[in-house]
Every structure is written in structure tokens, then in C-alpha cells.
Amino acid sequence: MRYRTVVFAALWLGAMAVSNGIALAAEQSGTSRPQMKREIIPGSELMTPQERERYRQRMRSAKSDDERNRYRAEHTKQMQERARLRGLRLAEPVAGDRK
């Protein structure tokens, strides 16, 4: 029983070392995806999981900050209308959330 525990622990540690090595190699070679700044989606509480994912995909695929800002403004307007129809109000973004 003890032998199996030691073997399992050794295999687990080996697997972790390999996965960390692969991640480090990808990071150093520049093949990992660039990280976007995390943002709270305006009106996310009024959206389905699919709508949130579509929003994220569209923001990631935008070619410029200007395009992202236009889409964000359009989306916020739509969410404000959705909230109004439900008798709710969207929270105002905190200063410094976006640049």
C-alpha cells in the first residue's frame, strides 16, 4: 500500500514538472497568447453565458482600441435599454476601470 502511494506521488510530481516545463517553454518562445486586461462586462448580470462569451470574443477580435471602445459603448447602450425594460439600472463603471 505504501509503495503505491510513493509511486503515485512520484508520477504526479513528474507530470506537474513536465506541464510546467511545457508552459515555460511556450512562454519563452512567444507562442502563448497575449494577455488582455481583464474587464467587467457592462450589464453582465443581464446577459446569458453565451452573450458574455460572444462579447469577449468580439473584444478579443477587435483590431484597435478605438474599435473596442466603439463596441463597448454600443454594448453598454444596449444593456442600459435592457435594464430599463426590466425596471433596473446599470451600475456606473468605477473611474479607472478602463483606459
The reply to whether 99 falls in a domain is: no
In a domain, 93, yes or no: no
Q: Is residue 57 part of a domain?
A: yes
- Residue 39 contacts residue 76 (beta carbons within 8 Å): no
The predicted structure's pLDDT at residue 78: 95
CB 74 within 8 A of CB 42: no
Residue 22 lies in a domain: yes
Residue range(s) defining the domain that contains residue 23: 2-29+43-85
pLDDT of amino acid 54: 96
Let me know if residue 17 belongs to a domain: yes
Q: What is the pLDDT of residues 11-61, one digit of tens each?
A: 666 666 666 666 666 666 655 555 667 788 999 999 999 999 999 999 999
**What is the mean pLDDT of the segment spanning 51-72?**
95
**What is the C-alpha separation between 13 and 26, in angstroms, rounded?**
20
Number of domains within the chain = 1
Length of the chain: 99
Cα–Cα nearest to 96, from 15, 40, 24: 40
d(CA 24, CA 29): 9
